[in-house]
Amino acid sequence: LRRGRESALDGLDPQQRRAVLAPRGPVCILAGAGTGKTRTITRRIAHLVTTGHVRGDQVLAVTFTARAAGELRMRLAGLGVADAGTGPVQARTFHSAALRNLSYFWPRVYGEEPWQLLDGQFRAVAQAVRRVGLDPSTETIRDVLTEIGWAKSSLLTPDTYAEQAVALGRDLPAPAPEVARAFRAYEDLKVSGPVRMLDFDDLLGHMAELVEEVPAIAEEFRDRYRCFVVDEFQDVTPAQQRLLSAWLGRRDDLTVVGDVNQTIYSFAGADPDYLLGFAERHPQATVVRLESDYRSTPQVVDLANAVIGAGAGRFRSAGLTLRGMRPAGPDPVLTEYPDEDAEADAVAGAIADLVHGGLDPSEIAVLYRVNAQSERIEAALDEVGIGYRLKGGEGFFERTVIRRAMSTIDRLVDGTDEAVTEEHSSLTDPTDVVRVIRASLEPLGLTAAEPSGTQAREKWESLTALVGLVEEIATTEARPGLLPVVAGLRARAAARHAPDQRGVTLASFHAAKGLEWDAVFLLGVHEGSLPISHAIKAGPDAIEEERRLLYVGITRAREHLSVSWSRSRRAGGRATRRPSRFLDPVRPAPAPAGTRQAAESPDKGRCRGCGERLTGPMHRALGSCPDCSVEIDTGLFERLRDWRRETSERIGKPAYTVFTNDTLVQIAR
Ligand code: ATP
Ligand code: MG
Kind and range of the H or E run holding 181: helix 176-192
| Residue 40 CA, ligand 1 centroid: distance in Å | 8
Q: Is residue 163 part of a domain?
A: yes
Same domain, 486 and 512: no
Contact status, residue 588 vs residue 334, Cβ threshold 8 Å: yes
If you take atom 31 of ligand 1, which residue's CA is the nearest one? Answer: 294
CA 194-199-204 angle, 5° bins = 120
- Per-residue pLDDT at 460 exceeds 70: yes
* Residue 159 shares a structural domain with residue 180: yes
Helix intervals (H) in 22-115: 37-50, 66-78, 94-110
Most distant CA atoms of the chain, gap in Å: 84
Q: What share of the chain is helix, strand, coil (3-state, %, to 5)?
A: 50, 15, 35
Give the list of residues 6+ apart from residue 312 with CB closer than 8 angstroms, or none. 540, 544, 654
Same domain, 153 and 240: no
Domain boundary among 466, 495, 524: 495
Instruction: Tell me if 37 CB under 6 Å of ligand 1.
Output: yes
Residue 391 alpha carbon to ligand 1 centre in Å: 22
Q: Return d(Cα 467, Cα 433) in angstroms, integer.
A: 11
**pLDDT tens digits, one per residue of 600-644:** 333 457 776 677 777 665 566 566 676 665 444 445 556 666 677
Q: How far is the CA of 610 from the centre of ligand 2 (A)?
A: 32
369 and 503 both lie in a single domain? yes
Same domain, 403 and 472: yes
Q: Is the CB of 569 under 6 A from ligand 1?
A: no
Q: What is the pLDDT of residues 51-82, one digit of tens each?
A: 999 999 999 999 988 888 888 998 998 888 87
The complex's ipTM? Answer: 0.97
Residue 280 lies in a domain: yes
| For the CA of 13, the nearest atom of ligand 1 | 27
Shortest-distance ligand to the CA of residue 42:
1
Rounded Cα distance, 184 and 189, in Å: 9
Give Cβ neighbours of residue 434 (< 8 Å, ≥ 6 apart): 467, 470, 471, 474
Paired strand residues for 288: 29
pLDDT score of 648: 75
By residue count, the chain amounts to: 669
Q: Choose the final residue of a domain: 495, 522, 541.
A: 495
Query: Would you state the pLDDT for residue 577?
Result: 92
Helix spans in 357-453 (H): 374-384, 400-413, 418-424, 430-441
Residue 82 belongs to some domain of the structure = yes
Is ligand 1 within 6 A of the CB of residue 13? Answer: yes
pLDDT band at 647 (very low <50, low <70, confident <90, very high): confident
Same domain, 524 and 475: no
The CATH number of residue 146's host domain is 1.10.10
Residue 601 has a pLDDT of 36
pLDDT in tens, 281-291: 999 999 999 99
Residue type, 162: A
Average pLDDT, the chain: 86
User: Quick check: 534 pLDDT over 60?
Assistant: yes
Q: Is the pLDDT of residue 661 over 50?
A: no
Query: Partners of 229 in the beta sheet?
Result: 61, 255
Shared domain check, 82 and 36: yes
| Nearest of 119, 115, 45 to residue 75 by alpha carbon | 45
d(CA 669, CA 651): 8
Residue numbers belonging to the annotated binding site = 31-38
Which atom of ligand 1 is nearest to 35's Cα? 6
The pLDDT assigned to 628 comes to: 62
Tell me, yes or no, whether 505 and 575 share the same domain: yes
* CA distance linking residue 295 with residue 556, whole number of Å: 8
Q: What pLDDT sits at residue 421?
A: 59
CA distance linking residue 499 with residue 505, whole number of Å: 10
Angle (nearest 5°) at CA 113 between 112 and 116: 120
Instruction: Note whether residue 521 is domain-resident.
Output: yes
DSSP structure class, residue 662? T
pLDDT reading at 669 higher than 50: no
**28 domain-assigned:** yes
Indicate if ligand 1 lies below 6 Å from the C-beta of 514: yes
Verify whether ligand 1 is closer than 6 Å to residue 33 (CB atom): yes
Instruction: Please give the annotated binding residues for ATP, written as ranges.
Output: 31-38
- Asked whether 560 lines ligand 1 (CB < 6 A), one says no
Give the residue, out of 35, 513, 558, with the most ligand 1 atoms within 8 A of its beta carbon, to mutate for a pocket test: 35
Ligand closest in space to the Cα of 322: 1
Residue nearest to atom 23 of ligand 1 (CA): 36
Q: What's 529's DSSP letter?
A: B
Whether 642 maps to a domain, the answer reads: no
The finding on whether 327 has its CB within 6 A of some atom of ligand 1 is no
Q: What is the pLDDT of residue 627?
A: 63
The answer to whether residues 362 and 508 belong to one domain is yes
Q: If we measure between CA atoms, which residue out of 383, 393, 568 comes closest to residue 491?
A: 383
Predicted structure pTM score: 0.80
pLDDT of residue 380: 95
Among 123-137, 303-317, 325-339, 477-491, the range scoring the smallest mean pLDDT is 303-317
| Nearest CA residue ID for atom 26, ligand 1 | 12
Count of other CB atoms within 10 angstroms of residue 199: 20
Q: How far apart are CA 562 and CA 336, in angstroms?
A: 11
Q: Whose CA is nearest to atom 29 of ligand 1?
A: 294
Q: Are residues 518 and 388 in the same domain?
A: yes
Q: Is residue 445 part of a domain?
A: yes
DSSP state of 440: H
What is the number of structural domains in the chain? 4
- For residue 592, pLDDT over 80 is answered with no
Rounded to 5°, angle at Cα 548 from 543 and 552 = 150
Cα–ligand 2 centroid distance for 38 (angstroms): 5
pLDDT at 588: 60
The percentage of the chain sitting over the pLDDT mark of 90, rounded to a whole number, equals 61
- Answer whether residue 393 shows pLDDT above 70: yes
Residue range of the domain that includes 175: 119-198
Check if 294 has its Cβ closer than 6 Å to any atom of ligand 1: yes
Ligand 1 pocket check for 11: Cβ under 6 Å: yes
- Express each pLDDT in 361-380 by its tens digit: 999 999 999 999 999 999 99
Question: Domain check: are 409 and 483 in the same one?
Answer: yes
Decide if 63 is inside a domain: yes
Report the atom number in ligand 1 closest to the C-alpha of 515: 3
Dihedrals phi, psi of 588, to nearest 5 degrees:
-65, -20
Q: For residue 424, is pLDDT > 50?
A: yes
Question: Looking at per-residue confidence, does 435 or 607 come out higher?
Answer: 435
Q: Is ligand 1 within 6 A of the CB of residue 12?
A: yes
Query: Measured in angstroms, how far is the CA atom of residue 33 from the centroid of ligand 1?
Result: 8
- Are 270 and 411 contained in the same domain? no
8 A C-beta contact, residue 566 and residue 552: no
Give the domain CATH number at 561.
3.40.50.300
